[in-house]
Each structure stands twice: as C-alpha cells, then as structure tokens.
Chain A
Amino acid sequence: MLQFILRRTVGALVTLFLIGAATFFLFVAAPSDYASLACGKDCSPQRLEDIRQALGLNLPIAQQFWDFMSGIFMGRDFPTGHCSAPCLGQSFYSGDMVWNTIMDRFPTTLTLTAGGAVVFLVVGVGAGMISAYKRGSMLDKFATGTSMVLSSFQIYFLGPIVLWIFVYSTGWMDNPQYTPITQDPWGWFTGMLLPTLVMASIFTAQYTRMARSSMIEQLAEEHVRTARAKGMSRKYVFYRYAWRGALIPIVTVLGIDLSSMLGGAVVTELTFSLQGIGRLAVDGAIHKDLPMTMGVMLFGAFFILIFNILTDIAYAWIDPRVRLS
C-alpha cells in the first residue's frame, strides 16, 4: 500500500510538472501578450520594453519557465519583495503574490464544495438508496421524478430564480457573500447558504439517480441472492452486501466532482458573484495574467491528482480484490 501511494505521488508530481509546462507554453504561444495589453493604446517601444523588463518577459522563455517552476519549491525574489515557497509568481495584473491571492479566495470555494458535498451525499445518496430499497413505491417515483427535473436544470438558470425569490423580491436574505467562519460563523452560514444549496441541489439530483441505479444493479448481483438464500434479511443484505458494491461508482464520481469543484466552482461563483478560485481563473485568463493562470491551473491540477490517489485508496478499502492484488 505504502509503495502504491509512493508510486502514485511520484507520478502525480511528474504530471503536475507536465501540466505546468503545457499551460506555460500554450500561454506563451498565444498571439497576445500581457505587456502590449498593459502598455495601452499609445504605447512607445521604450515603454513596452520597460514593462517587459519589469515583468521578466524579456528573459528567454525557458528561463522564465524555470524561474516559475523552481519558485514553487524554493521561493523567489521580485523587485517588490520576496515570495516564499510555495511561490506561484506575482500577478501581472494586480501585482499581488499569486499564492496569497489563491489562499485568500480558497475558503469561499472550499465552503461551497464542502457544504455542497455534505448536502448531496446525505440527501442525494440517501434518497437514491431509499428509492432503490422501496423500488416502485410512491416515494421512489417522487424521488426519481424530482431528480429527473432537477438534474436537467443548470446553476445559472436556477441561481437567478432563487436569488430573485429570496433576496430581491422578499428580502428574506442578504445578497450572498463570503464572510470568514472565524470572524462571524452566522454570517458565514447565511452568506453561503443559497449558493451552496443551489449548487448542491443539482448535484443531489445526479447522486440520487446514480445511487439508485447502482444500488439496483447491486441488488441483482448473484452474491446478493446467495446472501438472501442463506436467510439473511432484506435489510441486512441491502446494507452489508449491496451497499459495498454500490459505493464504487459513487466514490469514482465523487472524486472527480470534488476535485473539479475545489479547483474552482466557476459557474456557481459567477452566478452568485462570489470571489472564489473559479472567478480567479476566469479573470486570469481574461487579463492574460500568466502567473495567475499558471497558479490556478496547478492548484486545480493538484486537487485532481490528490483525489485520484484518494479514490484509488478508497477502492482498496472497499474492495479486497483491489487491495490484495
């Protein structure tokens, strides 16, 4: 197991490096560059050269890349000050250290992700399982129908409706915003409630459908029938035998969903005007802000790789065939 994790970590680091390289060189190869954008309309060659020099864009591309990558591990110095490891560079646009900006924004995204996950795991998977257990009942029909409708919605459609109902027309709630939980727990909760619920509701619908179908699939497995043939009760078989197998597809999708959300819940953040990682990524791309884009990219990729490894560990925990082979 330890060897497995070690091997996967090495693999993840290599992948991160490759992602960094790909992003960097794609960005450089793009037809527009930040310097001429910052230089503005009446740009003199001298001014352009100054900007390029200030941003380090005058250096050879390989040098720029090396500076960036080595900065992650060793930190680096900018004219405006030192950037300690892990240094993801200095934003061209704002002049802030990228790492600090990301850390600033991350709690918002983390709240959305974690809060959403609690809701869609408890409500979504729960409803799916009950649906499968009472297949064909009114409850099942209700859950299936609701999730069908909900999962065909989009956040940018549902979001404004919810905002209109709860904020603009009735004034029951304030406009969503992030307040640090350490500062004002209640403010944190109420500020993030609407976006989290809207995002979670759509995921909930998907998880309900997935949990239901994989549970039904598992209940049809032969080993489940064997357990019933031994005289184990329906309930026991449901929770001990079928549930284990149904976890595998859920864990797979959960890993993908969580990692992509942590890398930025773009649509939710934009819909509710929240300042999260997703917003940062979009802004970075719009402003041709190379360090910011690189930083957010690597940050997101990091989560994808971490959750990849975690998912595999979860497989091993669920299924002894994985663990013992």
Chain B
Amino acid sequence: MSENLTLPAPQGTTGTSAENLLEVKGLTKHFPIYGGFPIRRKVGAVQAVDGVDLTVGVAESVGLVGESGCGKSTTGRLITRLLEPTAGTITYAGQDITHASRRQLAPVRSEIQMIFQDPYSSLNPRQTVGSIIKSPMEVNGIEPEGGREKKVRELLELVGLNPEHYNRFPHEFSGGQRQRIGVARALALNPKLIVADEPVSALDVSIQAQVVNLLKEVQKELGIAFLFIAHDLAVVRHFSQRVAVMYLGKVVEVGDRESIYNGPRHPYTHALLSAVPEVSAEEDAGRERIRLSGDVPSPIHPPSGCRFRTRCWKAQDKCATEEPPLVQLSGNRDGHLTACHFPEDPTTQRDEDVVLDPALRSLEESASED
C-alpha cells in the first residue's frame, strides 16, 4: 500500500459547492447509560455519533447512508437540534448553532426542516391537513402574502395533492399521500435545508418513486439543500450528488456520487455496495461479491482504532491501534475522503469472492468439493 500516499484533507474542499450552508465538525452524541449500586451513576455511553464531519452546500443534496445503529438518524436529529450534541460544532450559514438557545434558534428553525420516516405517526390524527401544514407558520408567526390558507392550498397543489383536501384528516389518505403532507409541512416555511430521515422506506415500491420524484423536483425547483438519510443505497444514489457512508457513529467515506458508487476505497463501502441485491441485466456480471460475517458491533463498546476492523478482510494490527483519519487518498478526486489504512482499489469489480461468514464458507466449500 506504499503507493497510496495520503494527503491531509485540504480545508474548504470537502464540499463540491463553493458555499457551505451547513458545516458539521466533530459532531458527537453519547447517550449515557446509568447503573451501579448503591448510587446510580453513569457506567457507560452509547456512542451513537462519534466525531462526524459533514458539509452541505447551498441547494446541494447530500446522502447519508449506513446500516441501522450507524448513527445516521441521530446525526439528522442533532443537526435539526432535536437532540443536544455532546461535542462538536454545527454551523448553519456561518452561525454557530451547536448549543443555541430556543430564542437564538428561532430564526434558523424555520430554515431547517425535517421529514420523518413514518407518515403514519408523524402527523397528528386529530388535526386537519390544513392545520397541520399551517401550524409551522403560526408557531413562527409568519403571514405569507394572501394569507396562510392560500399558502397551504398552494403547497398542497405543489406536492401533488388536491387543494380541496384542506379540511380532511390524515387517516383519509394513503401512506404516499401522507408523506406528501409531511413534505408540504416541511415546505411551509420556505426552508433552505431539509433533513429527510428515511422519507420513503416505509412506502411501497410504486409509491416510493412518487415521493422520490417529488423530493427531487422540490430540491431542483426551490433550490433547497437536502440531507437525505437512508439505508437504501440505490435511492440515495438517485437523489444525492454527494454521499457520506457511516459505520458505527463515524463517517468512513465521503465523496461525490460517482466516486462512492463506482470507485469506492473503503472496504465497508465495497461490502455495502456488493450486498445490494440488484435486478441486473446479466447475472451480476463481474460485480464483486463480499459477504461479511456477523452483525455490526455494539456502539457501547466499539472496537478500538478502525471500527470496521472486526469485520474487515484487510485488517492488520495497525487498524486496532490507530484510528484512520478521514483523508483524501492519492488518486481520489477532490472531496472524496476515506478513513482507511489499507484502502481497496477504486472499482466495484473483483475476481475472487470475499466470504467471511463461517457458515457460508463451510457450506460453499463442501458444495464445491462435491
């Protein structure tokens, strides 16, 4: 790996966009665990998010992918300040909002909105669609031209719902339509940044595409920046210009879409991409096959050094002792950063399968002996 010269990440080149709307540095969230006798005290912490650096440019869509427990949702909630960060800084439009009070946040709150995963539980069943969409304007004391009701009707139309449905209740809508209501609510305050936490994963495939297209349209037409949090790599690829891959509370790789999907360097990104089941034209022609073993370790006691090392086929002693920094590897494009001591080649092809799962290995060995 000597040819892999690593360069420190140059300041300001982490985003493709010249202007950063959101800048997150060393963002950390530890959920304390209490226990002990006779006096209960903090005995540990779930290290949900541990030093995440991330930027979102104006009108840019950034995807945040990873498996459950990697901290992607927590990151979203920290950025929207639904959770209080343990450490790190969140800068929005040049203003440090990491620990901003309610009052300080007020002007920013309306510019950062969130769309939630579950269209069933994130809408108040006792409120009409009109009042659900209207309430953010009321809370923030915003009186749009022509009145709030007119604005709500425009929003309903914008998200593809009938403006006549103003007085209906959420239960009268299907899952996809409810998610449209959620989008309309997020748009009510003309936000500059929307954090979308798994916005389509609760929906059926045919409905998913409707909502993805709607979000894409909104992003393009209204110039809204998106932090798109999802576990579905194909959806993220479709939606985001830049993608960050998270594993156990850390960003392991970040870069433009092309680099992440076609030239990934981190072994975990390789494993993730190869695991996506695809309807491909030819029998997975040439696509690499990587099968990890076991599940993601507990974020209470994450592995030392590189957190992926316990499931990595390239791990060496160095990985346990030294945490790899998130840097630009030689040969990578600007803004494509990888946190790995022994990165893979930038391709998604591989001649030999990597099968770490012991059960698979033994079954496949005995099958090939026959």
Chains A and B directly touch (beta carbon < 8 Å) = yes
B-contact bits for A1-16, CB 8 A (1 contact / 0 none):
0010011001000000
Main secondary structure of the interface of A (DSSP, over half): helix
User: CB-CB < 8 A to B37: which residues of A?
Assistant: 3, 6-7
Main secondary structure of the interface of B (DSSP, over half): loop
Closest partner residue, chain A, to B40 (CB atom): A7
User: CB-CB < 8 A to A10: which residues of B?
Assistant: 38
**How far, in angstroms, from A7 to B36 measured CA to CA in the complex?**
10
**How far, in angstroms, from A7 to B37 measured CA to CA in the complex?**
7
Q: For chain A, residues 1 to 36, give those with C-beta under 8 angstroms from any C-beta of chain B.
A: 3, 6-7, 10
**How far, in angstroms, from A6 to B37 measured CA to CA in the complex?**
9
Closest partner residue, chain B, to A10 (CB atom): B38
Please give the distance in Å from A61's CB to the nearest CB on chain B: 31
User: CB-CB < 8 A to B38: which residues of A?
Assistant: 6-7, 10
Closest partner residue, chain B, to A6 (CB atom): B37
Please give the distance in Å from A3's CB to the nearest CB on chain B: 5
User: CB-CB < 8 A to A6: which residues of B?
Assistant: 37-38
Q: For chain B, residues 30 to 54, give those with C-beta under 8 angstroms from any C-beta of chain A.
A: 37-38
User: CB-CB < 8 A to A7: which residues of B?
Assistant: 37-38
**How far, in angstroms, from A10 to B38 measured CA to CA in the complex?**
9
**How far, in angstroms, from A10 to B37 measured CA to CA in the complex?**
11
Closest partner residue, chain A, to B37 (CB atom): A3
**How far, in angstroms, from A10 to B39 measured CA to CA in the complex?**
11
Q: For chain B, residues 13 to 39, give those with C-beta under 8 angstroms from any C-beta of chain A.
A: 37-38
Closest partner residue, chain B, to A7 (CB atom): B37
**How far, in angstroms, from A6 to B39 measured CA to CA in the complex?**
12
**How far, in angstroms, from A106 to B219 measured CA to CA in the complex?**
74
User: CB-CB < 8 A to A3: which residues of B?
Assistant: 37
**How far, in angstroms, from A7 to B38 measured CA to CA in the complex?**
7
Please give the distance in Å from B192's CB to the nearest CB on chain A: 43
Closest partner residue, chain B, to A11 (CB atom): B38
Please give the distance in Å from A6's CB to the nearest CB on chain B: 7
**How far, in angstroms, from A6 to B38 measured CA to CA in the complex?**
9
**How far, in angstroms, from A244 to B317 measured CA to CA in the complex?**
48
**How far, in angstroms, from A67 to B38 measured CA to CA in the complex?**
29
**How far, in angstroms, from A3 to B38 measured CA to CA in the complex?**
9
Please give the distance in Å from B44's CB to the nearest CB on chain A: 14
- Which of A6, A7, A10 has the largest number of chain B CB atoms within 10 A? A7
A-contact bits for B274-287, CB 8 A (1 contact / 0 none):
00000000000000
**How far, in angstroms, from A10 to B40 measured CA to CA in the complex?**
13
**How far, in angstroms, from A3 to B40 measured CA to CA in the complex?**
12
**How far, in angstroms, from A216 to B247 measured CA to CA in the complex?**
42
Please give the distance in Å from B40's CB to the nearest CB on chain A: 9
Please give the distance in Å from B34's CB to the nearest CB on chain A: 13
Q: For chain B, residues 44 to 86, give those with C-beta under 8 angstroms from any C-beta of chain A.
A: none
Please give the distance in Å from A107's CB to the nearest CB on chain B: 37
Please give the distance in Å from B304's CB to the nearest CB on chain A: 26
Q: For chain B, residues 79 to 137, give those with C-beta under 8 angstroms from any C-beta of chain A.
A: none
Please give the distance in Å from A13's CB to the nearest CB on chain B: 12
Closest partner residue, chain B, to A4 (CB atom): B37
Please give the distance in Å from A120's CB to the nearest CB on chain B: 37
B-contact bits for A242-274, CB 8 A (1 contact / 0 none):
000000000000000000000000000000000
Q: For chain A, residues 274 to 311, give those with C-beta under 8 angstroms from any C-beta of chain B.
A: none
**How far, in angstroms, from A3 to B35 measured CA to CA in the complex?**
12
Q: What are the nearest 3 A-B pairs in CB distance?
A: A3-B37, A7-B37, A7-B38
Q: 6 A-B residue contacts at CB 8 Å?
A: A3-B37, A6-B37, A6-B38, A7-B37, A7-B38, A10-B38
